Structure 1
Amino acid sequence: MPTQTATLFLVDELDDVGPTSGLAENDLTALRAVASWVRSYVVEPHQDLGRAGPVCPFVPGALERRKLWFAPERVGAATVQDVVELMTGYRRRFLEAQPAGGEDAGHAAIIVVFTDLSAGRARELFADVLQQLAVPSYVEDGIVFGPFYDGHDGPAIHNSRFRPFRSPVPFVFVRHGVVEDWEFFLDDESWFRLYARRFGESAVHALAGELRRLPWRVTPG
């Protein structure tokens, strides 16, 4: 499996014959399936989400700024280490395209679509890859990876019965961690410690803002 990363495409380019002319039909079909899912589901509210706003609060801004890129990859007989090296390449590429601290750092992502990967294999493969990659990428560069595939059991933060991470084709997104990520890390002491170390005083203010909205001062009567 080559470790060189693929061409990146914006959403509107996936419907343009010119930019996608070099793609195999199954790769293009997979990219379009994920892009359609993003536009019809991820950026929209959902009655089971447990909060107001779109399923993912970061994606609408990325789409508006033309900072949401799609890349096709094939796994074939690749090993876990092959995929680790591949995703490390996307980590570097993302940092080059969208440096930390840039104006749109919190509204940009690369979606790496594994066009020949089954959902069943994705579960194990992504878990093994992120076990090696997730912590050092966050500690060193503040990069967050997110796995999506059909059958993903991860629940929504505000509704444990809702499963928002089930995509039509397996993919992993690459983005900068943001101060709002505390919700994802709150129940994991080791990750929350890394988050607090990265955001420091900003993390305190984010949590204080959440506490101010809660009725914790009210005495039970």
Structure 2
Amino acid sequence: MRAPSPADEVLIRTADEVDAGDVAPELTEVLAWARTYLVSPSPDLGRRGPVCPYTQPSLQRGLFFLASPTSPDVPGAVAGLRRWYEAVAATMPAPDRELLTVLLVLPHVDPVDPTPLDELQRAAKDDFVANGLMIGQFHPACEAPGLWNPDYRPLRSPVPLLAIRELVVFDLPFLVEERKHLDSYLSRFAPTIPTRVRRQLTARLAPR
């Protein structure tokens, strides 16, 4: 499978195209990291299963893409990639949409002081979540704690990047800290929230 209809602001490649070579070494490095770290369990994670439960199915279905900006304009790259993502997702059945994943690899972002990347992710997340998408930041110095082990740093990657995928019902723990994110989540999923997730919601909101 080839990456469909690339956006002007980014170059988008499938995992197979990265494997074939003739790409920036950072793309190969990030794909190798995804295939090892993201798909594997960790004793420090605080729960069973792989670090990211969606990566392996996404890779197996050929729905895992890597993107590079065509200029230093990271916000422009995010906007272009989002347009591409929404156009591609609109052509897919629901099960495939849940696995469609794109990593925007950003080797020119300072890995020691990624504050601008963190701020960009926070600013973009509001509109992404409101429209049924998730955007997450990964970088070597990411201090975001794990959900089940606050001493674990699950969002550290060898190269700064942003990950984009569809919002799913199990994303609740990533959204409860911001009321607008929670409202968007509930408006989308409230009638169909599984019992286990309802318990998470109750437990997290009870202290408030």
Q: Structure 2 length normalisation: TM-score?
A: 0.84
1:72 matched to 2:68? The reply is yes
Contact conserved, 1:119 with 1:150, CA < 8 A, in 2? Answer: yes
Aligned partner of residue 134 in structure 1, secondary structure = helix
Q: Deviations over 1:59-93 (max 9, x none)?
A: 111111110100122664xxxxx422321111110
Report the equivalent of 1:40.
Answer: 36
Contact conserved, 1:73 with 1:115, CA < 8 A, in 2? Answer: no
Question: Which aligned pairs between 1:46-61 and structure 2 lie closer than 5 A?
Answer: 46-61=42-57
Contact conserved, 1:147 with 1:171, CA < 8 A, in 2? Answer: yes
Report the equivalent of 1:134.
Answer: 125
Contact conserved, 2:109 with 2:117, CA < 8 A, in 1? Answer: no
User: Quick one: structure 1 residues 131 and 54, their matched pair in 2 at CA, closer, same or farther if it must change by over 3 Å?
Assistant: closer
Of 180, 186, 207, the residue aligned with 1:196 is: 186
How far apart, in 1, do the equivalents of 2:173 and 2:28 lie?
Answer: 30
How far apart, in 2, do the equivalents of 1:146 and 1:56 lie?
Answer: 12
Question: Which aligned pairs between 1:90-169 and structure 2 lie closer than 5 A?
Answer: 90-99=81-90, 102-121=94-113, 123-139=114-130, 141-169=131-159
Contact conserved, 1:179 with 1:203, CA < 8 A, in 2? Answer: yes
Aligned-pair CA distance for 1:175? 0.7
Of 152, 163, 167, the residue aligned with 1:173 is: 163
* Mean Cα deviation higher: 3-12 or 48-57: 3-12
Q: Deviations over 1:71-119 (max 9, x none)?
A: 122664xxxxx42232111111011112276331111111000122221
- How many residue pairs are counted as aligned between the two chains? 195
Of 52, 55, 76, the residue aligned with 1:85 is: 76
Gaps of 5+ in 2: 1-6, 204-208
Aligned partner of residue 10 in structure 2, secondary structure = coil
How far apart, in 1, do the equivalents of 2:107 and 2:26 lie?
Answer: 6
Gaps of 5+ in 1: 77-81, 215-221
RMSD over aligned Cα atoms: 2.3
Query: What letter is aligned with 2:118?
Result: A
Report the equivalent of 1:183.
Answer: 173
How far apart, in 1, do the equivalents of 2:162 and 2:13 lie?
Answer: 15
Overall identity of the aligned pairs, in %: 26
User: Quick one: structure 1 residues 185 and 16, their matched pair in 2 at CA, closer, same or farther if it must change by over 3 Å?
Assistant: same
Aligned-pair CA distance for 1:162? 0.7
User: Quick one: structure 1 residues 8 and 74, their matched pair in 2 at CA, closer, same or farther if it must change by over 3 Å?
Assistant: closer
Contact conserved, 2:38 with 2:50, CA < 8 A, in 1? Answer: yes
Aligned-pair CA distance for 1:14? 1.4
Aligned partner of residue 119 in structure 1, secondary structure = coil
How far apart, in 2, do the equivalents of 1:205 and 1:93 lie?
Answer: 34
User: Quick one: structure 1 residues 86 and 72, their matched pair in 2 at CA, closer, same or farther if it must change by over 3 Å?
Assistant: closer
Q: Deviations over 1:11-33 (max 9, x none)?
A: 2321214xx3xx4xxxx210111
* Mean Cα deviation higher: 29-38 or 202-211: 202-211
Aligned-pair CA distance for 1:204? 6.1
